[in-house]
Amino acid sequence: MQKIELEIVALSHSITQSNSYAVILGEVGGLRRLPIVIGGFEAQAIAVALENMHPSRPLTHDLMKNFMIAFDIQLQEVYICDLQEGIFYAKLVCFTANDTIEIDSRTSDALALAVRFGCPIYVNANILDQAGLEKEGGEKERTNVTAESIQPQSDNNLSTLSMIELNDLLKEVLEQEDYIRAIDIRDEIAKRNEQKKS
């Protein structure tokens, strides 16, 4: 299976689920983006690590890193290996002096650990083909991710729009790099296409 390397390019509120956030992973050297809905705690854990903030007491993911280091376990990579019914599955690829093992993990926790260890994040190419969004244009700039930059998105009722309006809106939000909104529009289009087949 082909692996594609990703990097975290943005965090924002999810408009599809209350009290949730979305982490946007960008294809390294490419234009595709992979949005993943995560919990608020994990979003903050990722933002804190990206900003190199040091809380007075270790957060859960800091504790996990300290535990792994104490027992001489290194996180070699995070691998997003599966997508089932809208849920992403990940593995922590760890190594010790004697062995390399893969540990099942929630994707959000795996990303929080990847940031702390500075290890690469990979995705199965089929998942990126299935759930990825293509960024328009040639720019590949990294979005500044901070704990304070997690901003809510507005919620519009997509069910009232025609398919033409949805496709136009999808193109517009992709140009604005609003990948969270693009997920909702893409899902609404897919839902309607499925209804046509029924």
Three-state secondary structure string covering 94-148: EECCCCEEEEEEEHHHHHHHHHHHCCCEEEEHHHHHHHCEECCCCCCCCCCCCHH
Phi first, then psi: give them for residue 92, nearest 5 degrees.
-95, 120
Q: Please identify, in words, the CATH class of the domain defined by 3-152.
A: alpha beta
The residue ranges of every structural domain in the chain are: 3-152, 154-198
Phi first, then psi: give them for residue 191, nearest 5 degrees.
-60, -45
Higher pLDDT, 150 or 9: 9
Stated pTM of the model: 0.71
Mean pLDDT for the stretch of residues 10-38: 85
What pLDDT score does 142 carry?
Answer: 45
Per the listing, tokens 């982490």 go with 23
CA-CA distance, 72 to 88, in Å (whole number)?
Answer: 28
What pLDDT score does 106 carry?
Answer: 97
What pLDDT score does 141 carry?
Answer: 44
Q: Any idea what the Cα angle at residue 132 is, between residues 130 and 138, rounded to 5°?
A: 140
- In this structure, of 3-7, 55-59, 126-130, 165-169, the range with the lowest mean pLDDT score is 55-59
